[in-house]
Amino acid sequence: MAQDPSDSVPARHRPWTIITALLAAAVLVAADLALKNWAQINLTDNRVQPLIPKLLAMRWVENHGAIFGIAQGQRLFFIAATIIATAAITWIFVRAPVRHRFLQVALVLILAGALGNLHDRVWHQFVRDMLWLFPQVPLPFNWHWPGGSNELYPWIFNLADVYLVIGIAILIIRSIFIKPPAPADPN
């Protein structure tokens, strides 16, 4: 079966591709912000709200850093880095051929995650985190993480972080398993 020649057209020449991506990113950001708002109203008393026992809970954390709480207090750096990353993501998206669906999905997820956390850094001065995997499940053999925690997964995150991790995972998997097409023979 021959490939549709319009699949090689960059997304910028397909307005519906861009509109769909923007709508998807907007829905994802809205879900992230809605959950953050709910958590800020309902979880700020430092209680743990179990969702699935021993698997998933919610607990309010104000993260003044990045993933895993690194680089605390570097708000302006992260705002600038996010703006630059957003511009790069947009540039890559509009130039990528529409046939690169996995790339488009990954970029939309990364964009939504970046914008959700950017919103928090700009409007709240910190990122609002609340999702907790394996709450209060200890590491085996009485081990401890650097910093003293003995919990299997002590980090608390948000939906924007989930979008970022899934988007980056798609990019990694795509780069490993999907090879670029061979250049056309000029003869």
For 64, 96, 130, 144, 158, the CA distances from 68, given in Å and listed in that order, are 11, 32, 13, 15, 12
Cα distance between residue 119 and residue 127, in whole Å:
8
CA proximity to 111, closest of 9, 24, 35? 24
Q: Please say if 4 is a catalytic residue.
A: no
Q: Please say if 32 is a catalytic residue.
A: no
- Given 45, 120, 129, 185, the catalytic residue: 129
- Given 4, 7, 32, 161, the catalytic residue: 161
Question: Is the CB of residue 92 less than 8 Å from the CB of residue 18?
Answer: no
The residues assigned a catalytic role are 129, 161
